Chain A
Amino acid sequence: DAGVIQSPRHEVTEMGQEVTLRCKPISGHDYLFWYRQTMMRGLELLIYFNNNVPIDDSGMPEDRFSAKMPNASFSTLKIQPSEPRDSAVYFCASSKRAGGNNEQFFGPGTRLTVL
Protein backbone atom coordinates (compact mmCIF):
# COMPACT_ATOMS: atom_id res chain seq x y z
CA ASP A 1 0.00 0.00 0.00
CA ALA A 2 1.27 3.47 -0.86
CA GLY A 3 0.07 4.91 2.40
CA VAL A 4 -2.01 8.05 2.72
CA ILE A 5 -1.64 10.21 -0.38
CA GLN A 6 -2.06 13.97 -0.37
CA SER A 7 -1.96 16.51 -3.15
CA PRO A 8 -0.65 18.99 -3.85
CA ARG A 9 2.46 18.81 -1.65
CA HIS A 10 2.94 22.56 -1.85
CA GLU A 11 0.45 25.28 -2.66
CA VAL A 12 1.12 28.99 -2.94
CA THR A 13 -1.88 31.20 -3.55
CA GLU A 14 -3.03 34.75 -3.11
CA MET A 15 -5.44 35.95 -0.51
CA GLY A 16 -9.02 35.53 -1.60
CA GLN A 17 -8.41 32.56 -3.86
CA GLU A 18 -10.03 29.17 -3.39
CA VAL A 19 -7.77 26.34 -2.28
CA THR A 20 -8.60 22.64 -2.51
CA LEU A 21 -6.52 20.02 -0.76
CA ARG A 22 -6.93 16.35 -1.60
CA CYS A 23 -6.45 13.12 0.28
CA LYS A 24 -6.61 9.42 -0.51
CA PRO A 25 -6.69 7.29 2.67
CA ILE A 26 -5.24 3.83 3.04
CA SER A 27 -7.55 1.24 1.53
CA GLY A 28 -9.71 -0.43 4.16
CA HIS A 29 -9.43 2.37 6.68
CA ASP A 30 -12.79 3.59 7.95
CA TYR A 31 -11.67 6.84 9.53
CA LEU A 32 -10.19 9.92 7.91
CA PHE A 33 -8.83 12.94 9.76
CA TRP A 34 -7.81 16.41 8.60
CA TYR A 35 -5.24 18.26 10.75
CA ARG A 36 -3.62 21.67 10.54
CA GLN A 37 -0.13 22.23 11.93
CA THR A 38 1.39 25.60 12.78
CA MET A 39 4.20 26.65 15.10
CA MET A 40 1.83 28.66 17.26
CA ARG A 41 -1.04 26.19 17.61
CA GLY A 42 0.65 22.84 17.08
CA LEU A 43 -1.33 19.97 15.57
CA GLU A 44 -5.05 20.73 15.46
CA LEU A 45 -7.80 18.36 14.39
CA LEU A 46 -10.12 20.11 11.95
CA ILE A 47 -12.64 17.38 11.11
CA TYR A 48 -12.91 13.63 10.93
CA PHE A 49 -15.06 11.17 8.99
CA ASN A 50 -16.25 7.65 9.72
CA ASN A 51 -17.35 5.65 6.70
CA ASN A 52 -17.49 8.87 4.66
CA VAL A 53 -19.76 10.63 7.18
CA PRO A 54 -18.47 13.72 9.04
CA ILE A 55 -18.47 12.92 12.77
CA ASP A 56 -16.89 15.96 14.39
CA ASP A 57 -16.21 19.24 12.64
CA SER A 58 -15.85 21.34 15.76
CA GLY A 59 -12.25 22.07 14.87
CA MET A 60 -13.06 23.73 11.57
CA PRO A 61 -12.03 27.36 12.11
CA GLU A 62 -14.91 29.05 10.33
CA ASP A 63 -17.30 28.87 7.42
CA ARG A 64 -14.51 29.47 4.95
CA PHE A 65 -13.42 25.89 5.57
CA SER A 66 -15.36 22.91 4.25
CA ALA A 67 -14.57 19.22 3.86
CA LYS A 68 -16.16 16.42 1.93
CA MET A 69 -15.68 12.70 1.55
CA PRO A 70 -17.72 11.57 -1.47
CA ASN A 71 -16.41 8.00 -1.28
CA ALA A 72 -14.13 5.77 0.79
CA SER A 73 -11.04 6.61 -1.21
CA PHE A 74 -11.17 10.37 -1.52
CA SER A 75 -11.59 13.48 0.59
CA THR A 76 -11.16 17.20 0.01
CA LEU A 77 -10.58 20.17 2.28
CA LYS A 78 -11.55 23.46 0.73
CA ILE A 79 -10.77 26.99 1.86
CA GLN A 80 -12.74 29.77 0.23
CA PRO A 81 -11.70 32.54 0.36
CA SER A 82 -8.20 31.90 1.65
CA GLU A 83 -6.43 34.28 4.03
CA PRO A 84 -2.75 34.65 5.03
CA ARG A 85 -3.51 33.22 8.49
CA ASP A 86 -4.51 29.94 6.81
CA SER A 87 -0.85 29.35 5.93
CA ALA A 88 0.11 26.05 7.56
CA VAL A 89 0.85 22.41 6.84
CA TYR A 90 -2.34 20.41 6.41
CA PHE A 91 -2.16 16.70 7.16
CA CYS A 92 -4.63 14.02 6.30
CA ALA A 93 -4.56 10.79 8.33
CA SER A 94 -6.50 7.56 8.28
CA SER A 95 -7.07 4.68 10.67
CA LYS A 96 -9.03 1.48 10.86
CA ARG A 97 -10.81 2.73 13.94
CA ALA A 98 -10.90 6.09 15.73
CA GLY A 99 -8.84 6.36 18.92
CA GLY A 100 -9.22 2.94 20.46
CA ASN A 101 -5.54 2.09 20.12
CA ASN A 102 -5.65 2.02 16.37
CA GLU A 103 -2.77 3.87 14.82
CA GLN A 104 -3.41 6.92 12.71
CA PHE A 105 -1.29 6.98 9.55
CA PHE A 106 -0.44 10.44 8.34
CA GLY A 107 0.03 11.58 4.78
CA PRO A 108 3.04 13.68 3.76
CA GLY A 109 1.10 16.91 4.21
CA THR A 110 0.33 19.92 2.05
CA ARG A 111 2.28 23.06 2.80
CA LEU A 112 -0.05 25.98 2.10
CA THR A 113 1.18 29.53 1.76
CA VAL A 114 -1.36 32.30 1.32
CA LEU A 115 0.20 35.60 0.26
Chain B
Amino acid sequence: GENVEQHPSTLSVQEGDSAVIKCTYSDSASNYFPWYKQELGKRPQLIIDIRSNVGEKKDQRIAVTLNKTAKHFSLHITETQPEDSAVYFCAASLGGSQGNLIFGKGTKLSVKP
Protein backbone atom coordinates (compact mmCIF):
# COMPACT_ATOMS: atom_id res chain seq x y z
CA GLY B 1 0.00 0.00 0.00
CA GLU B 2 0.88 3.66 -0.03
CA ASN B 3 3.57 4.99 2.28
CA VAL B 4 4.27 8.67 2.86
CA GLU B 5 7.54 9.92 4.35
CA GLN B 6 7.79 13.51 5.60
CA HIS B 7 10.86 15.58 6.47
CA PRO B 8 11.96 17.29 8.59
CA SER B 9 10.07 16.35 11.73
CA THR B 10 10.83 19.75 13.28
CA LEU B 11 11.71 23.04 11.64
CA SER B 12 12.56 26.35 13.25
CA VAL B 13 12.82 29.57 11.23
CA GLN B 14 13.01 33.28 11.90
CA GLU B 15 9.99 35.41 11.10
CA GLY B 16 10.17 36.51 7.49
CA ASP B 17 12.24 33.56 6.34
CA SER B 18 10.96 30.77 4.10
CA ALA B 19 10.10 27.25 5.22
CA VAL B 20 10.13 24.12 3.10
CA ILE B 21 8.67 20.74 4.04
CA LYS B 22 9.21 17.71 1.83
CA CYS B 23 7.27 14.47 1.37
CA THR B 24 7.80 11.35 -0.68
CA TYR B 25 5.23 8.73 -1.57
CA SER B 26 5.53 5.16 -2.78
CA ASP B 27 2.47 4.43 -4.92
CA SER B 28 2.83 5.89 -8.40
CA ALA B 29 -0.96 5.65 -8.81
CA SER B 30 -1.53 8.31 -6.14
CA ASN B 31 -2.95 11.42 -7.72
CA TYR B 32 -4.09 13.76 -4.98
CA PHE B 33 -1.79 15.44 -2.45
CA PRO B 34 -3.27 17.69 0.24
CA TRP B 35 -1.51 19.54 3.03
CA TYR B 36 -3.11 20.02 6.43
CA LYS B 37 -2.20 22.44 9.20
CA GLN B 38 -2.87 21.56 12.83
CA GLU B 39 -2.49 24.23 15.46
CA LEU B 40 -1.85 23.17 19.02
CA GLY B 41 -4.90 21.47 20.52
CA LYS B 42 -6.97 21.91 17.38
CA ARG B 43 -8.11 19.83 14.44
CA PRO B 44 -6.19 19.40 11.17
CA GLN B 45 -7.41 21.77 8.45
CA LEU B 46 -6.70 21.73 4.73
CA ILE B 47 -4.50 24.61 3.59
CA ILE B 48 -3.67 23.63 0.02
CA ASP B 49 -3.82 20.62 -2.27
CA ILE B 50 -2.50 19.58 -5.65
CA ARG B 51 -3.51 17.02 -8.24
CA SER B 52 -1.11 14.90 -10.24
CA ASN B 53 -1.79 16.76 -13.48
CA VAL B 54 -0.37 19.96 -12.00
CA GLY B 55 3.26 20.68 -11.15
CA GLU B 56 2.79 23.68 -8.90
CA LYS B 57 0.04 25.55 -7.12
CA LYS B 58 0.16 28.80 -5.17
CA ASP B 59 -2.10 30.49 -2.69
CA GLN B 60 -0.70 33.75 -1.37
CA ARG B 61 2.35 32.84 0.77
CA ILE B 62 1.87 29.10 0.37
CA ALA B 63 2.90 26.99 -2.59
CA VAL B 64 3.08 23.28 -3.27
CA THR B 65 5.21 21.58 -5.92
CA LEU B 66 4.89 18.04 -7.23
CA ASN B 67 7.43 15.89 -9.02
CA LYS B 68 5.62 12.76 -10.21
CA THR B 69 8.73 11.17 -11.65
CA ALA B 70 10.57 11.36 -8.38
CA LYS B 71 7.39 10.81 -6.38
CA HIS B 72 7.90 13.74 -4.09
CA PHE B 73 6.03 16.92 -3.26
CA SER B 74 6.87 19.93 -1.14
CA LEU B 75 5.21 22.73 0.78
CA HIS B 76 6.77 26.18 0.61
CA ILE B 77 5.82 28.96 2.97
CA THR B 78 7.31 32.39 2.26
CA GLU B 79 7.55 35.40 4.57
CA THR B 80 6.73 33.24 7.57
CA GLN B 81 4.80 34.73 10.47
CA PRO B 82 4.41 33.55 14.08
CA GLU B 83 0.87 32.39 13.30
CA ASP B 84 2.34 29.90 10.82
CA SER B 85 3.67 27.96 13.81
CA ALA B 86 1.85 24.61 13.78
CA VAL B 87 2.23 20.98 12.77
CA TYR B 88 1.94 20.43 9.02
CA PHE B 89 0.89 17.10 7.53
CA CYS B 90 1.24 15.99 3.96
CA ALA B 91 -0.95 13.22 2.57
CA ALA B 92 -1.40 11.16 -0.56
CA SER B 93 -4.43 9.48 -2.04
CA LEU B 94 -5.38 7.26 -4.92
CA GLY B 95 -8.40 9.45 -5.40
CA GLY B 96 -11.56 8.48 -7.20
CA SER B 97 -14.19 6.41 -5.45
CA GLN B 98 -11.66 4.86 -3.12
CA GLY B 99 -8.45 6.04 -1.68
CA ASN B 100 -8.36 7.20 1.87
CA LEU B 101 -5.66 9.71 2.73
CA ILE B 102 -2.31 8.35 3.89
CA PHE B 103 -0.68 10.96 6.10
CA GLY B 104 2.96 11.71 6.75
CA LYS B 105 4.14 11.89 10.36
CA GLY B 106 4.00 15.68 10.46
CA THR B 107 6.44 18.59 10.71
CA LYS B 108 6.37 20.89 13.70
CA LEU B 109 7.13 24.37 12.40
CA SER B 110 8.19 27.07 14.83
CA VAL B 111 8.44 30.66 13.61
CA LYS B 112 10.44 32.83 15.97
CA PRO B 113 9.62 36.55 16.10
Give the interface of A toward B (CB within 8 A): 33, 42-43, 45, 48, 50, 55-56, 91, 97-101, 103-104, 106-109
Q: How far is the CA of A104 from the CA of B103 in the complex (A)?
A: 12
B43, A108: Cβ atoms under 8 Å? yes
- A58: nearest chain-B partner, CB-CB: B1
A45, B96: Cβ atoms under 8 Å? no
| CB-defined A-B contacts under 8 Å, sample of 5 | A42-B89, A45-B103, A98-B93, A100-B32, A104-B34
A56-B34 contact in complex given A99-B93, A99-B95, A103-B49, C-beta closer than 8 Å: no
B101, A42: Cβ atoms under 8 Å? no
A98, B89: Cβ atoms under 8 Å? no
A100, B43: Cβ atoms under 8 Å? no
Q: How far is the CA of A106 from the CA of B37 in the complex (A)?
A: 11
A104, B101: Cβ atoms under 8 Å? yes
Give the interface of B toward A (CB within 8 A): 32, 34, 42-46, 49, 51, 89, 93-106
A99, B98: Cβ atoms under 8 Å? yes
Q: What is the interface of chain B mostly: helix, strand, loop, or mixed?
A: loop
A98, B100: Cβ atoms under 8 Å? yes
Q: What residues of chain A lie closer than 8 Å to B103, measured between beta carbons?
A: 42-43, 45
Closest 5 CB pairs of A and B: A99-B99, A99-B93, A106-B43, A100-B95, A42-B105
A100, B45: Cβ atoms under 8 Å? no
Closest chain-B Cβ to A85's Cβ sits at a distance in Å of 19
Q: What residues of chain B lie closer than 8 Å to A100, measured between beta carbons?
A: 32, 93, 95-97, 99
Choose one: B46, B89, B93, B99; the contact of A43 (CB below 8 Å).
B89
- A40: nearest chain-B partner, CB-CB: B105
Choose one: A56, A91, A107, A108; the contact of B100 (CB below 8 Å).
A56
A91, B93: Cβ atoms under 8 Å? no
Q: What residues of chain B lie closer than 8 Å to A33, measured between beta carbons?
A: 100-101
